[in-house]
Amino acid sequence: MDFIKGKIESEAIRFSEAKSHIGQVVKVQGTVHKIRKMSGFAFVILRSARDLMQTVYSVEFSKFDLNSISEGSSIVVKGLVVEDQRSPIGCEIQMHYVEVLSKPYEEMPIIINYKKLDVNLDTNLQYRPLALRNPRERAIFKLQEGIVRGFRDYLQKQSFTEIHSPKIVGAGAEGGSNIFTLDYFGKEVFLAQSPQFYKQMMVGVFERVFEVGPVFRAEKHNTSRHLNEYVSLDIEMGFIKGFEDIMNLETDLFKHIFELLDSEYKNELELLKVTLQKIDQIPSVKFMEAKEILAEKFERNIADFEDLEPEEERLLCEFAKKEYNCPFIFVTHFPSSKRPFYAMDDPNDPNYTLSFDLLLNGLEITTGGQRIHDYNEQLKKIEKKSLNPDDLQSFLMIHKHGLPPHGGFGMGLERLTMQLLGFQNVRNTSLFPRDINRVTP
């Protein structure tokens, strides 16, 4: 009988700790990122989870054959830490011995050790498991981790409870044409398009809930801003006084996320040359006022009075940036005709809803609003939308037996990452994107 005590021994120090070991012999481990051979010596750049570090091979002090390692080898280096002012971490290591933990069998089909990956998007995605080893590529997803972490940390401090709702759903899904169907032991079921019903159900349980999880949309169009599977950041909040509470929460949330990224993800922001603008307040304009601004300031001929066109989202952000120096703008009071059956109508004008979109750098990143909590009001709206209440029984259960006033929002993680980091295609900010032509790797 052995006993596992919960201690992991490692003699290797982290790259970031090396500077405090100048003059000492230490062990570091990592993957060989790049070898630059000079005459009589070589620079061997090691890659670890978040950093690069220069080690130096020389016939003078290295007691192994340089040919025993190659780009892609995982190695442990034993060597002397020496000061180096030019290095971003202030030191480099003179390699004495090397232990090879694993080795590659073939050269990379793409060059991952350029500063910027120099391949087109299709090639990047074809070789995704390798492309992501490029420090700039992986920085996108380290920052994405930071966004999710900021989202969770903030909401937990605001007494939100994290939930995990099912992704296989039966009757009562929102429906529409962009839903995936699935054979479930001979029965037709669906993949969840959003956790909307479940988060509303859970408002009756935990008052404030959030979820981070995949959602599925069978979009047939192949655009730069749509994915068929994406990670949705969702919140729902009970006992609100109005949908402005949700917008205030989201504003404060973004302040928190930006602060976290600035403090703990500095290297990654620098690698991607991204500066996050400090947010103090976010301008907010009603849907019809937004259309007026578009007509007046941009001499736009307004054709669609039910929704915002992509070009209009772009222009509104241009306006917010110019007039208020803000990359964000809220648009509120979208027409009832275009919002779902659970959206609460504005009591002052039921043609519009107590809802909002949040735009960032030219694109909608969030849809939210207040939901109907009253049973009769919900039944009436279901009727008005020509839906069948029988299909929504388990959802209506919560209204029938009492539900506080509530609202929330949903936000696609990949699209938010794209807008925040300034990418032009959402596939760049999806770890393994799914579109109409792509389900591998």
Annotated binding site: 174, 217-219, 225-227, 364, 367, 371, 412-415
- Residue 157's H or E segment, with its range, is helix 135-157
Q: Indicate the residue among 41 and 417 with the shorter CB distance to a second copy.
A: 417
CA geometry: angle 164, 167, 172, nearest 5 deg: 110
Buried/exposed code over 133-160 (b: 16+ C-beta within 10 A; e: otherwise): bbbebbbbebbbebbbebbeebbeeeeb
Cβ neighbours, 10 Å, residue 196: 22
- Number of Cβ atoms within 10 Å of the Cβ of 205: 11
Cα maximum dimension of the chain = 85
Cβ 109 to a second copy shortest distance, Å: 8
Q: Least CB distance from residue 83 to a second copy, whole Å?
A: 26
Sign, CA torsion 334/338/344/347 = positive
Residue among 189 and 276 whose Cβ is closer to a second copy: 189
Token pair for 379: 């039944």
| Nearest C-alpha neighbor of 91 from the set 43, 55, 59 | 55
Q: Which is nearer to a second copy, 133 or 415 (CB)?
A: 133
Q: Two tokens at 305?
A: 């009075």
Q: In which residue are the tokens 């222009």 written? A: 315
What is the closest distance, in whole angstroms, from the C-beta atom of residue 23 to a second copy in the complex?
Answer: 25
Q: Which residues carry a binding-site annotation for ATP? A: 217-219, 225-227, 364, 412-415
What is the nearest approach in angstroms of a second copy to the Cβ of residue 258? 12
Closest to a second copy by CB, 43 vs 180, is: 180
84 phi and psi angles, rounded to 5 deg: -150, 105
Which of 10, 39 has the CB closer to a second copy? Answer: 10
Closest to a second copy by CB, 214 or 362: 214
Q: What is the DSSP pairing of strand 161-162 with strand 52-58? A: unpaired
- Element spanning 131, H or E: helix 128-131
Q: Quick check: 410 and 234 in contact, CB under 8 A?
A: yes
Query: Rounded to the nearest whole angstrom, what is the least distance from the CB of residue 164 to a second copy in the complex?
Result: 5
Report which secondary-structure segment, H or E, holds 383: helix 375-384
Q: DSSP secondary-structure letter at 391?
A: G
- Cis omega (within 30 of 0) for bond into 283: no
Smallest separation (angstroms) from a second copy to the CB of 39: 27
Smallest distance from a second copy to CB 40, Å: 26
Question: What is the Cα–Cα distance from 389 to 145, expressed in whole angstroms?
Answer: 40
> Least Å distance between CB 42 and a second copy?
18
Structure tokens belonging to residue 166: 């099912």
Q: Is 82 or 148 the residue whose CB approaches a second copy more closely? A: 148
Smallest gap from Cβ 393 to a second copy, in A, equals: 8
* Residue placing its CB nearer to a second copy in the complex, 78 or 138: 138
> Could you give the C-alpha distances from 314 to 262, 322, 339, 400, 423, in angstroms and in order?
26, 12, 21, 41, 15
22 or 108: CB nearest a second copy: 108
**Binding-site residue positions for L-aspartate:** 174, 217, 367, 371
